[in-house]
């Protein structure tokens, strides 16, 4: 009887768990020392999360000496993975230089975000969520063809917009 209750609790928890699958997301690159005065705000791209790589960014052309670093972004139901397919260098050092993923939702979509240090070669420590947006700060970090970043997410059971 106790095992059945424990199994029912686990199944109920999994049924209530949220997912990013099927959600509309806009991905952009931003660089700023003050959020209201960005040094770079790249052209955003919007897709529905599904199978495979959602975003493959390439340079867009310099703006104030800054440009987008080529990156591939794969979004799973509760995981985001970034990899760098070309180039080697260091991200411009500023208060925020990184990625913003804005999911179409009115609720607080992310309950927890953890860097998977085993699957990540980049030492990212500055990741936060605001309602349906996830901010990943890579300011000052190095990147290259062997660089990876994996984030495990606890996603709230928010309705799809």
- Looking at residue 19, what is its pLDDT? 95
Q: Is the pLDDT of residue 50 over 60?
A: yes
The per-residue pLDDT for 6 is 36
Tell me the chain's radius of gyration from C-alpha atoms: 17
Alpha carbon distance 157, 59 (integer Å): 35
Task: Output the pLDDT for position 85.
Answer: 83
Give the containing element (helix H, strand E) for 134.
Answer: strand 133-137
Percent of the chain whose pLDDT exceeds 70: 89
CB 67 within 8 A of CB 41: no
Give this prediction's pTM: 0.85
Burial 84-114 (b: 16+ CB within 10 A, else e): beeeeeebbebebbbbbbbbebeeebbeebe
Confidence (pLDDT) at 161: 64
Q: What is the DSSP letter of 91?
A: P
Q: What is the pLDDT of residues 139-152, one digit of tens each?
A: 999 999 999 999 99
> Tens of pLDDT along 61-112?
777 788 889 899 999 999 999 999 888 999 999 999 999 999 999 889 999 9
Q: Give residue-wise pLDDT tens across range 21-45.
A: 999 999 999 999 999 999 988 888 9
pLDDT level of residue 59 (50, 70, 90 thresholds):
confident
Residue 5 confidence (pLDDT) above 60: no
Q: State how far the Cα of 41 lies from the Cα of 52, in Å rounded to an integer.
A: 25
pLDDT given for residue 86 in this prediction: 85
d(CA 81, CA 43): 20
d(CA 31, CA 40): 5
């Amino acid at each position: 009887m106790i095992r059945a209750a424990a199994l029912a609790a686990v199944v109920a928890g999994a049924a209530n768990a949220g997912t990013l699958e099927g959600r509309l997301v806009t991905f952009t690159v931003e660089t700023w020392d003050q959020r209201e005065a960005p040094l770079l705000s790249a052209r955003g791209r919007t897709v529905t999360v599904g199978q495979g790589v959602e975003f493959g960014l390439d340079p867009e052309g310099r703006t104030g000496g800054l440009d987008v670093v080529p990156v591939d972004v794969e979004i799973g139901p509760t995981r985001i993975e970034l990899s760098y397919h070309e180039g080697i260098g260091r991200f411009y050092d500023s208060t925020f230089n990184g990625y913003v993923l804005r999911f179409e939702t009115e609720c607080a979509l992310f309950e927890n975000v953890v860097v998977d240090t085993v699957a990540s070669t980049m030492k990212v420590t500055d990741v936060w969520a605001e309602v349906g947006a996830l901010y990943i700060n890579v300011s000052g970090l190095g990147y290259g063809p062997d660089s990876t970043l994996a984030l495990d997410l606890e996603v709230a059971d928010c309705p799809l917009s």
